[in-house]
Structure 1
Amino acid sequence: MNGRFVFILQVVQITGLVLLVLLVSLLMYLSARKAIHNKHTDRYNRRLQRLLATDSALQVFLETGEASRILNVRKDRRSPVFEALRIRLSISRTEHERALIYEYARNHFHDYYARQLKNRRWSTRVNALLELELFRMDTMRKELSELLGKTKPSDTERFLILRIFASLQMKEVLPYLKEEASFLSDSQLLQLILPLQSALQEVILNEFHVYPLRVQCAVVDALRLRNERSALVLSHLESLLGSEEPDLRLRAVNAIANFGYLSPDGEGKLLTLLQTQTGISWDERQALARLMGSIREEHFLPVLLEFLGDESYPVRQTASDSLSRYKSGEEQLQSAALHHPDRFAREMAEETLERKRYEGVFH
């Protein structure tokens, strides 16, 4: 019995010793690996700081367009050149400097990104697409089209490819807006449409009713956000005042408010819309009140005074603010505060008069 106990004790001791050796070995391995990683990180950071210095080879390249041998070495993602170029893009204020960075990326990063797009790892491909967009790699059009057409990319990859197409003004993005908008969110649609410049924008406007409603709404939102001001855009927005789609009509009203004026034909369409206001939502009535404050045509005053007694508080508030922008605004609000048949309208007029006098708008 004692011999068996001694044997078991020896086995336990040997096992413990082996485990201790393994743990010490693992600790030494991890420590060595950490030291090597820190060494590489320090070297990377030193090289990055040298590239970002005011007298660096990168600075000389951005000033003269001449790339030194330091910048012509083989590139991969571990090279600090990637990060240095990304940082310079984020702080660059001149189109010339950004153009040099884009040209450098096209000349040196093409093969690297072509390999990355064929990688089996989803995260690697997505990161490559994000960097292609950052560096505007228009030399990758063929590879991107193949990735989109010959394979089955994920929704994220497909969206990123389409966003690159849009940023590069590639007409290939338009069929996807027509046929596959359903897999895109409203935010993603807006990201695809906002970068489009006048040539592609005109193509979309000429075929506007071919696109799905969600795309139409995104196009109008993009026109408003870019503050587009042209006869073509104004004519198109005015035509939407007669739309039977409330969401599209609301966006058109908000976009027209940026112009501050309407054509005679547009005013006629607006008056027609105002005559049917009983069937429209409060947010559209609020947008109409804001639009009338932007246009400031005297024949809209009766409508604004009617909106001053609207059942919705935001509509009443916007109508009173719009009235204050008219030449006779103070007089109109004073009259409304005394004689408007609606109690809430009188209170809103008094509140607006007091606020505008405090702000110095009225004296």
Structure 2
Amino acid sequence: MLGFGLLALAISLTLTLLILAVGFTLLETHFNPGRGVTWPLLTFTCITGGVFSLILSVLQFIQLQVARRSDTASHTAELWWSEHLMAWVYTDQPLPRPLDRPGAATLLKLRDVMQGDVSDKLRDLYRQEGWLARDLRHLQRRYTSTLLRAEAIERLALLRDPEALDTLSRQLSHPNQEVRSLALLAIARSVGRLPLNRSEESTYSLTVQAALTDGTFSVGQTQEALTLMDHHGLRLCRDLLLYSPAALKLVVLEVLARRRSAELHEDVVPLLHGADPELRAGALKVLSRSEQLPPGATARILELTRDPVTFVRLQATSAAALLVPLPERDLWTLMGDSQWWVRRAAAHGLARSHAGQLVLTRAETGHPDRYARDMANDTLAALGARARR
């Protein structure tokens, strides 16, 4: 494939040079009309250019056919290895030949979707066939190219082998940002899906924590790493909420909000009293998404519904709608908030329960704020439309 590309590039450059030569000759003839070489050169250029264009088209067609056959062969090899690896795993049939590159790639795909002893058996085969040692050598060599290093890290991310974690950890200090990012996600993925003991979990959680607090990873990469660590990442999230900068705490709060879990509420509630409005809003989002509000946070949640910052009031309103008993008076007041999003959150919160819907019915005609009346009317109309479906 590389040879086809280089040949096509050479032909393209030749055509470019011919065009430049024609242009130069035409200019030369214009200024020296007696030379008389224009038409022979044009004829030669057209014939040569046509031949080269035909060769280039043929090469591109051949390249397309080669790529298609390569894809077909790769797919066929994957199906062949899948069949034989599954037979080896479940019926102990011997593999017909040593594990080659397509076989190793197929094994990693199967390892990624399987669990338990079957998955571990595939991991052990990858070790026995020497592919793990090969990947580790690529990472341990100082002058391994970035491409080979990245490919090895991606394979180890799928393999999830405890023996690779130390080598992956050393890649977090690599000068290339892409290598560091891949290593971070590979470690997080492995930690999240491996049955590590308490000591191993603590060691690699601290490794990830040190990498994240360096601030060299994007928000998306940090969120993905914490998410991939699954339940192993909860202790790390707790430590980050206690000791990390505000920007990293916001990332942790977003991850916890997506988990919709109440596991770290005792660490989240103190942030409701913080000076940073983004942290207050993030903590409220975690509480409301979990739909399990700590009893001790009720007063502070209602207090934050009067916060001067709009996005804090918005999250506080969503959380207040989950309180039991329902704070009907507060939500009635929030229906008349100056911000549309807060009014909408109050109306939707009231619509969650029968008692709240009665409040909306009263607000439809009796609320002193016309925007609150409109919001109540729209919310009740949407409820009616859903009920008729």
Is the shorter-chain TM-score for this pair beyond 0.5, marking a shared fold? yes
What band does the TM-score fall into relative to the shorter chain? 0.7 to 0.9
> Which of 203, 206, 212 is matched with 1:177 structurally?
212
2:110 corresponding residue in structure 1: 88
1:141 corresponding residue in structure 2: 165
Q: 1:70 to 1:302 in 2, by over 3 A?
A: same
| Deviation (angstroms), 1:146 | 3.6
Whether the 8 Å CA contact 1:166–1:196 is kept in 2: the answer is yes
SS of the residue 2:322 aligns to = helix
Query: Is residue 2:360 matched to residue 1:336?
Result: no
Whether the 8 Å CA contact 1:260–1:295 is kept in 2: the answer is no
> Which of 234, 237, 248 is matched with 1:215 structurally?
248
- Distance in 1, matches of 2:281 and 2:163, equals 40
2:5 corresponding residue in structure 1: none
- Distance in 2, matches of 1:218 and 1:252, equals 11
Query: Is residue 2:94 matched to residue 1:63?
Result: no
Q: 1:311 to 1:67 in 2, by over 3 A?
A: farther
Q: 1:106 to 1:227 in 2, by over 3 A?
A: farther
- List per-residue Cα deviations over 1:288-329 (Å, max 9, x = no partner): 22212233433x222211111122222212211111123312
> Which of 169, 177, 184 is matched with 1:155 structurally?
177
Amino acid across the alignment from 2:299: G
Q: List aligned pairs for 1:54-133, cutoff 5 A.
A: 56-64=83-91, 66=92, 68-70=94-96, 73=98, 75=100, 79-89=101-111, 92=113, 94-108=115-129, 109-117=131-139, 118=141, 120-133=144-157
| Deviation (angstroms), 1:186 | 0.8
SS of the residue 2:158 aligns to = helix
Q: 1:126 to 1:335 in 2, by over 3 A?
A: same
- List per-residue Cα deviations over 1:41-90 (Å, max 9, x = no partner): 766554333223xxx321112324x472436x254xxx211332244356
Q: State the number of aligned residues.
A: 322
> Which of 280, 287, 311 is matched with 1:256 structurally?
287
1:301 corresponding residue in structure 2: 328
- Distance in 1, matches of 2:231 and 2:71, equals 46
Q: Comparing 263-272 with 194-203, which one deviates more in the overlay?
A: 194-203
TM-score (norm: length of structure 2): 0.72
- List per-residue Cα deviations over 1:8-52 (Å, max 9, x = no partner): xxxxxxxxxxx9xxx9xx99xx89x97998887766554333223
- Distance in 2, matches of 1:145 and 1:351, equals 54
Gap regions ≥5 residues in structure 2: 1-47, 192-203
1:167 corresponding residue in structure 2: 189
- Distance in 2, matches of 1:177 and 1:192, equals 9
**Identical pairs, percent:** 20
- Distance in 1, matches of 2:293 and 2:170, equals 46
Amino acid across the alignment from 2:366: H
Q: List aligned pairs for 1:213-252, cutoff 5 A.
A: 213-230=246-263, 233-252=264-283
Q: Comparing 201-210 with 35-44, which one deviates more in the overlay?
A: 35-44
Whether the 8 Å CA contact 2:85–2:95 is kept in 1: the answer is no
SS of the residue 2:338 aligns to = coil
- Distance in 2, matches of 1:266 and 1:67, equals 60
- Distance in 2, matches of 1:207 and 1:70, equals 50
Gap regions ≥5 residues in structure 1: 1-18
TM-score (norm: length of structure 1): 0.76
